[in-house]
Amino acid sequence: MDYNKVLCGRIRNVPPSGIRKYFDLLQGMEGGISLGIGEPDFQTPWHIRDAGIYSLEKGFTKYTPNAGLSDLRSAISRYLKRRFDLEYAPAGQILVTVGGSEGLDLAFRCMLEPGDEVIIPTPSFVCYGPLVSMTHGVPVYVETKAENEFRLTPEELKRAITPRTKAVVLPFPCNPTGGIMERADLEALAQVLRGTDIMVISDEIYAELTYGGQRHVSMANLPDMYERTIVVNGFSKAYSMTGWRMGYLCGPKELITAMTKLHQYGIMSAPTTSQYAAIEAMDHGDGDIEAMQSEYDGRRRFLVDGFRKLGLSCFEPKGAFYTFPCIRSTGLSSEEFCDRFLEKEHVAVIPGSAFGPGGEGFVRACYAASMKDLAEALERLGRFLESLR
């Protein structure tokens, strides 16, 4: 059987993620340290786990409504108002999804006609382009620049717009750069978008992880932008709940209703146990967020300082939990750097090139790791850089 003929061209042509390789290699390595995976190192706070367990004890093991438990949607609605001044009605404007990942997939699949273009600032999370391609859309990558602190500028956005532009992804706070967009930055983009039919898909999964007193601002907070923005969010990063697979979409009722249709046929409803845990997170998790955020902040400064002391220039990330040091001074490509560093010192970091155009010359190091591991990784990095001289 020729399975290449069985598989559709769209999936055959999508490249595998450039991230996975490093986990597979790190696996059998003695004393390996991973600064590779984009996953919190904390356990899900106990009271949240307890709420999931308790729901099982009570026998809540059936499907929920397609859009998610009504109590969860109400809790999300209160949370968004309290933390980000966003107003979404629990009935009709909020859809509970299987992670932010499903939310992104639904948003693209419900909006794109074949040939529709989606503007994707890069370097950014690896899934946007492949998801757009798999739904017959065309990803249009726009390189953000270190000298602009990896923000998307209105000029860059304007240059990328064509008559086929259907949507722009706003991946801020950004994985892998740690860049954020402040209100004034968003306002400048809004001025380009007002009066067009272009939608914004705002991936706000790291909204709770911003530093230096900066609070995340959503594009949906800006005048005239609410009706053209779909907010993608989830529980993985803020509450350390990656394995629970909980996320949500918010937006105009007409769109969320359509997305609920697709979710209903493809998923039915997000995992029930996780939904009960998520209610607890929304209602009683603010303290957990703050504790983890403050821990990340200390690690962030430690790692950025460490890179700079070793002679690598490093933009100070303002959000998420990644640093993105520049490794051009080593003369290696970012992939060579990561391969050799892993092979010699057993530390996994990810080549910037895995995150799209503009990532070459940088590596992503995640600080969702213990201080002990970060300190050890820096020591090994010092040794590695020395060996290159």
203 binds ligand PMP (CB under 6 A): yes
Residue whose token pair is 């209100």: 183
Q: What are the start-end ranges of the E strands in the chain?
A: 33-34, 94-97, 117-122, 138-143, 165-170, 199-203, 229-234, 247-250, 322-323, 347-348, 350-351, 363-366
236 binds ligand PMP (CB under 6 A): yes
Among 93, 101, 144, 177, binds ligand PMP (CB under 6 A): 101
State in angstroms the smallest separation of the CB of 208 from ligand PMP. 13
Distance, CA of 348 to CA of 158 (rounded, Å): 37
Distance, CA of 30 to CA of 24 (rounded, Å): 13
Instruction: Kindly report the number of other CB atoms within 10 A of residue 10's CB atom.
Output: 12
State in angstroms the smallest separation of the CB of 97 from ligand PMP. 8
Nearest partner of 169 among 118, 105, 97, 103, judged by Cα: 118
Helix (H, G, I), strand (E, B) or coil at 362: strand
99 binds ligand PMP (CB under 6 A): yes
The DSSP result for 68-122, as a single string, is --HHHHHHHHHHHHHHH-----TTTSEEEESHHHHHHHHHHHHHPPTT-EEEEEE
State in angstroms the smallest separation of the CB of 278 from ligand PMP. 11
Torsion of CA 285, 291, 294, 296, to 10 degrees: -80
State in angstroms the smallest separation of the CB of 203 from ligand PMP. 5
Among 22, 84, 125, 248, binds ligand PMP (CB under 6 A): 125
296 binds ligand PMP (CB under 6 A): no
The number of CA neighbours under 13 Å toward the Cβ of 234 is 24
Give the helix/strand (H/E) hosting 2.
none
State in angstroms the smallest separation of the CB of 173 from ligand PMP. 8
State in angstroms the smallest separation of the CB of 311 from ligand PMP. 29
Question: Which DSSP state fits 253?
Answer: H
Cβ 33 vs Cβ 376: under 8 Å: yes
247 binds ligand PMP (CB under 6 A): yes
Burial bucket for residue 228 (CB in 10 Å: 0-12, 13-18, 19+): buried
- Cβ proximity to ligand PMP, 100 vs 325, nearer residue: 100
- Cβ proximity to ligand PMP, 156 vs 203, nearer residue: 203
- Cβ proximity to ligand PMP, 137 vs 173, nearer residue: 173
Chain position whose Cβ is nearest to ligand PMP: 99
State in angstroms the smallest separation of the CB of 101 from ligand PMP. 3
Instruction: Tell me the per-residue interface mask from 251 to 270 with ligand PMP, x by CB under 6 A, - otherwise.
Output: --------------------
234 binds ligand PMP (CB under 6 A): yes
Interface stretch with ligand PMP, choices 93-101, 114-122, 130-138, 151-159 (CB under 6 A): 93-101
- Cβ proximity to ligand PMP, 38 vs 356, nearer residue: 38
Among 18, 36, 38, 352, binds ligand PMP (CB under 6 A): 38
Interface stretch with ligand PMP, choices 66-74, 234-242, 267-275, 363-371 (CB under 6 A): 234-242
Rg of the chain's alpha carbons, rounded to an integer?
Answer: 21
Among 198, 205, 217, 369, binds ligand PMP (CB under 6 A): 205
242 binds ligand PMP (CB under 6 A): yes
- Cβ proximity to ligand PMP, 242 vs 293, nearer residue: 242
The DSSP result for 104-168, as a single string, is HHHHHHHHPPTT-EEEEEES--TTHHHHHHHTT-EEEEEE--GGGTTPPPHHHHHHH--TTEEEE
171 binds ligand PMP (CB under 6 A): yes
State in angstroms the smallest separation of the CB of 205 from ligand PMP. 4
- Cβ proximity to ligand PMP, 205 vs 230, nearer residue: 205
Binding site for ligand PMP (CB under 6 A): 38, 99-101, 125, 171, 175, 203, 205, 234, 236, 242, 247
